Each structure stands twice: as C-alpha cells, then as structure tokens.
Amino acid sequence: MSLNDAQAFAFSLAATLMVAIVIFRAGDGSLSVVPATEFDHDAEVIAEIDPFAF
C-alpha cells in the first residue's frame, strides 16, 4: 500500500470508528494501518491519526 493510500484509509477508519489509528511500516517494508489499541509497538510508526484532534 502506498503512503497516500495508507493515509486515506487511516483517515477514513478514524472518522468512521472514532478511534486512533496507527500507520506503520511492517518488517517487509509494506505500510499498514490498525487501531492504536491493537498495535503492538514492534514496527516503525509512520503516523498516528486521532479523530478527536481534528
């Protein structure tokens, strides 16, 4: 997933679910997004999207 796609997906999830979303780079170099409560802190964090900060 490209960074632009990951950011768009993260913003959409954050606005829909109203939870903080983390964009991270996995060990194989790919980007992914997960709710912050499910992130286990073993990958490089690219950004965190907080829907309450808008």
Domain ranges of the chain: 3-53
Q: Which of 12-16, 17-21, 26-30 has the lowest mean pLDDT?
A: 26-30
CA proximity to 51, closest of 14, 12, 6, 9: 14
Query: Is 33 strand, coil or helix?
Result: strand
Q: Which residue has the tokens 């790919």?
A: 30
Average predicted confidence (pLDDT) for the chain: 93
Q: What is the SS3 assignment for 50?
A: coil
**What is the predicted pLDDT for the residue at 11?**
96
Residue 4 binned pLDDT confidence (cut-offs 50, 70, 90): very high
Model-level pTM?
Answer: 0.88
The predicted pLDDT at position 1 comes to 86
Alpha helices in 1-54 (DSSP H): 3-17
